[in-house]
Amino acid sequence: MNFSMTKTINELRAGICELTLVDEFSVEYDKVMGTLAECHMADSEGEEKARKIAEREVGNVVEVWDVRGEQWRKIALCKIGEIERLTGQGVKTNDDEVDLEGFLNEVAFSENEND
Contacts 24+ apart (CB under 8 A), 30-33: 32/64, 32/66, 32/68, 32/73, 32/75, 33/66, 33/67, 33/68, 33/86
Cross-strand pairs, 61: 76
pLDDT in tens, 24-37: 998 999 999 999 98
Q: Which of 36, 38, 32 is nearest to 68 (CA)?
A: 32
pLDDT in tens, 48-100: 888 787 776 667 889 999 999 889 999 999 999 999 998 876 555 554 444 55
The mean pLDDT value for 96-111 works out to 56
- Count Cβ atoms below 10 Å from residue 50 Cβ, excluding itself: 24
Provide the pLDDT for residue 112. Answer: 61
Against a cut of 0.85, is the pTM above it?
A: no
Provide the pLDDT for residue 83. Answer: 93
